[in-house]
A and B are shown apart, each in its own frame.
Chain A
């Protein structure tokens, strides 16, 4: 199995801040890495696939980078609707796995 570790587990930020979330895989997964956003009581929403490809309809302030074992999700200018929990997910092997999540809260 591939373990996914996110950091930090939570962060406080203000509207307009640049936010970076990190995800590390327990082995190399090339660029088989996806990012999701989840708001309370709602289903997850796909933001980024294949490490850096923006899902259709997702604002361009979201970006992803990385390859191998280390990946980042960046929000260039945090907006009020971006306060949520973010998850990474590896798609390198069929037994999928998610990171533990990063909760982005209002400072």
Chain B
């Protein structure tokens, strides 16, 4: 069974930093592209960042570019999101999601349960 489990969320002051982790199991993690998607309270889904299986293609939403860094460790079957210069508007539940990569662009077929990040003074 495919499982993704996020951790690392919490309360942080504006301007602070936080690193999220996503532990994968039940599939060959090194063979899949991965994504972070967030959802602000009461709002819709917002794609944040993606990384391919070899970490040589990385993309960010404009809203986080220059502040967030996505990375992965295939040996540890883990995905990360380093978040710096956090803003109140970064408050959200952050999900990691697997790209099924069936040839029609990224379709996210497995998701973690999410980790909550609150940016507040």
Task: Give A contacts to B, CB under 8 Å.
Answer: 1, 31-32, 34, 36, 38, 42-46, 49-50, 53, 55, 87, 89-101
Contacts and interface: CB of A to CB of B under 8 A. Distances in A.
B61 A43 contact: no
B15 interface: no
13 contacts: A1-B62, A36-B45, A43-B112, A43-B114, A44-B111, A49-B104, A50-B104, A53-B102, A89-B45, A89-B107, A94-B59, A95-B47, A96-B47
A49 B100 contact: yes
A54 to B, nearest CB: 12
A33 B62 CA distance: 21
Contact of B106 (A1, A45, A91, A100): A91
Given A44-B45, A95-B61, A98-B45, A50 B109 contact: no
A98 B107 contact: no
A94 B50 contact: yes
A91 B107 contact: yes
Contacts of A92: 105
Contacts of B71: none
Contacts of A91: 104-107
Contact of B109 (A38, A42, A46, A96): A46
Contacts of B46: 98
Most chain A beta-carbon contacts within 10 A, residue among B47, B100, B105 = B105
Given A49-B100, A87-B45, A98-B47, A44 B108 contact: yes
